[in-house]
Amino acid sequence: MHRSAPRLSRILACAAVPVMLVVAGCSSDSGDKKESGSSDSSASASATKKAEPTVEPAKFAALPDPCKSITKKTVTSLVPKAKSKNGTAATSSDTSSRAGCSWNGLDDNGVKGSQYRWLDVGFTRFDSDPSLGSGAKRAQQDFDKQIAKAKAAEGAKKVAEAPVSGIGEQATKITYDLTKTSEDFKYATIVARTENVVVTLTYNGAGYAGSKTPSAGDILKGAEKAAKEAVAAVAAADTDSAKPSGSATPDKKTTDKADDPKSSDSDSSDRKTTDKKSSAHKSSVKKTS
């Protein structure tokens, strides 16, 4: 009995060695599995990042001052007796995305009648958005909406639509006749898109007190001229916004005569002329505007 006890102890000690090795082996396998799982997670995260949608950046990040987007010379030509030569800016909560300006006036020719003109320009800019698409794509959608809106003008007659070349990347003209305040108006709307910006310009006119109605051709020609200047102003505004602070210089071609002392005299003269209008003409203008 005494001899068998040491022998039994040696047998148990030898038997314990393989068990320890097996445990160590299992611990090693467990570690390998954890490392493998971590690697798979990293690969999955990387794949998710690569799968995120991307859109082309919008080209234009700013809009021009709408009341300066059309030169004073052109405004004077299209609206000879504008109530405000500087235009009336449209209300906007974010002028970097939406802006507009309008001019209107009555050129009183006494017994020969009067000519009324109205000019309006609007800008809408779209940013690129992963969920909505690129700025250019969103502008394209608005371009189509603005055309449909112009064609659906209430009371419009003889509505015609046609593409226009040389104005932005794409442009469409919509012309129609409209009777209001008992006078026949000629309308022309130009909808143009330049990258991620949509420009909508409308020009119309009518003859009062027996004065001849302006021709549709003249109204359309004026609208196209103003639209070209408005589209060009978009690119100019983007260039100016990219310049370092204090480096911008005025463009001689687009700088108006607002700083010229004679300009204020002209405005004063226009106001005196306007004050001499007959009450009948004033009533017609109020109804029209």
pLDDT tens digits for 179-213?
Answer: 998 899 999 999 999 999 999 999 999 999 889 99
* Mode of pairing for the β-strands spanning 98-108 and 157-164: unpaired
Q: Is residue 151 very low, low, confident or very high in pLDDT (cuts 50, 70, 90)?
A: very high
pLDDT classification of 277: cutoffs 50, 70, 90? very low
- Per the CB < 8 A criterion, the answer to whether 82 and 73 are in contact is no
279 pLDDT band, cuts 50/70/90, is very low
Q: Which residue has the higher pLDDT, 18 or 261?
A: 18
pLDDT the model gives residue 39:
54
The pair of three-digit structure tokens given for residue 57, joined into one six-digit string = 């950046």
- More confident call, 138 vs 260: 138
pTM: 0.68
For the chain, the domains span 1-52, 66-288
What is the number of residues in the chain?
Answer: 289
pLDDT band at 165 (very low <50, low <70, confident <90, very high): very high
Q: Which residue has the higher pLDDT, 21 or 4?
A: 4
Q: What is the CB neighbour count within 10 angstroms for residue 103?
A: 24
User: What is the pLDDT, as a whole number, of residue 112?
Assistant: 85
Q: Residue 160 pLDDT > 60, yes or no?
A: yes
* pLDDT higher than 50, residue 245: no
The token pair at 150 is 């112009």
Amino acid symbol at 171: A
Amino acid present at 283: S
pLDDT above 80 (res 41): no
- Is residue 174 predicted with pLDDT exceeding 70? yes
Q: Give how far the C-alpha of residue 63 lies from the chain's centroid of Cα atoms, to the nearest Å.
A: 7
Residue 16 pLDDT more than 70?
no
CA distance readout (Å), 47 to 33, 34, 102, 129:
21, 20, 52, 21
**Is residue 43 very low, low, confident or very high in pLDDT (cuts 50, 70, 90)?**
low
- The label of the residue with tokens 């009450």 reads 279
Decide if pLDDT at 48 tops 90: no
pLDDT tens digits, 264-275: 444 444 444 444
Q: What pLDDT, on a 0 to 100 scale, did the predictor assign at position 84?
A: 93
What mean pLDDT value characterizes the chain? 79
Q: What is the mean pLDDT of residues 54-74?
A: 96
The terminus-to-terminus CA distance of the chain in angstroms comes to 125
